[in-house]
A and B are shown apart, each in its own frame.
Chain A
Amino acid sequence: GQQVMQIPQYQHVQEGEDFTTYCNSSTTLSNIQWYKQRPGGHPVFLIQLVKSGEVKKQKRLTFQFGEAKKNSSLHITATQTTDVGTYFCAGPFGGNQFYFGTGTSLTVIP
């Protein structure tokens, strides 16, 4: 079954509102990565988290890795139309198997 779940599956927000997507793994991860896929595009790496409880920021994006290293979140402050896309978390399972989460599709209404 799916090893990495994300919620919500879809999110529509007004431009300027905040957005959060949550990622939950069935097992402890050595690291977790986040990718963004624009409509019609390919996934692009955003960031990697390695340490328990780690928090990293990229401008309006805040990424967090849970204490148990089984969950993670991505928070976008004051969304812009350029934030539109699907956000995936991903991580290594059982060594070199690499699984992506189910993804959260973000729509920003101008």
Chain B
Amino acid sequence: DSGVTQTPKHLITATGQRVTLRCSPRSGDLSVYWYQQSLDQGLQFLIQYYNGEERAKGNILERFSAQQFPDLHSELNLSSLELGDSALYFCASSVGLADSYNEQFFGPGTRLTVL
């Protein structure tokens, strides 16, 4: 158990819909990262938050947005869903920033299926 929790574990929805994925970081970690992993694909970095502020953006679509709340939990919002958005979405947390030599702890992931 990494100490990072993600809800829900599974999500099935239809094209055009909007969903929200939730992540609670490990106690004491200030950074939250979101990744997308498609079937047979690697981990695609989406976005990073540090202590409530957006710090880095990766390959995140404009239909996707995220935020980190004062209690440090984070939410990833996916809207106007398309079939290609079906993937495993991981949240990870670390004590500091990506370039601060901190290991990341991953949650169990949310598997999103868009029908």
Give the B-binding residues of A (Cβ under 8 A): 30-31, 33, 35, 42-45, 48, 50, 88, 90, 92, 94-103
Cβ distance A70 to chain B, nearest Cβ, rounded Å = 16
16 A-B pairs (CB sep. < 8 Å): A30-B99, A30-B101, A45-B103, A48-B103, A88-B43, A96-B48, A96-B55, A96-B56, A96-B98, A97-B45, A97-B98, A98-B98, A99-B58, A100-B35, A100-B42, A102-B42
Distance A31 CA – B45 CA, assembled complex (angstroms): 17
Q: Is the CB of A99 within 8 A of B45?
A: yes
Interface residues on B, range: 20 to 34
Cβ distance B76 to chain A, nearest Cβ, rounded Å = 16
Distance A95 CA – B55 CA, assembled complex (angstroms): 9
A-B contact count (CB 8 A): 67
Q: Is the CB of B42 within 8 A of A95?
A: no
Report which of B56, B90, B97 forms a contact with A43, defined as CB distance below 8 A. B90
Q: Is the CB of B2 within 8 A of A42?
A: yes
Cβ distance B108 to chain A, nearest Cβ, rounded Å = 6
Using a CB-CB cutoff of 8 Å, which residues 40-55 of chain B contact chain A? 42-45, 48, 50, 55
Using a CB-CB cutoff of 8 Å, which residues 1-16 of chain B contact chain A? 2
Q: Is the CB of B90 within 8 A of A42?
A: yes
Give the A-binding residues of B (Cβ under 8 A): 2, 33, 35, 42-45, 48, 50, 55-58, 90, 92, 97-99, 101, 103-109
Report which of A42, A50, A88, A97 forms a contact with B109, defined as CB distance below 8 A. A42
Q: Is the CB of A50 within 8 A of B42?
A: no
Report which of A30, A42, A98 forms a contact with B48, defined as CB distance below 8 A. A98
Q: A30-B99, A44-B106, A96-B50 are in contact. List 11 more A-B contacts (CB 8 A).
A: A43-B43, A43-B106, A45-B104, A88-B42, A95-B55, A96-B97, A96-B98, A97-B57, A98-B45, A98-B98, A100-B35
- Contact A96:B103 (CB < 8 A) given known A42-B108, A43-B90, A103-B42: no
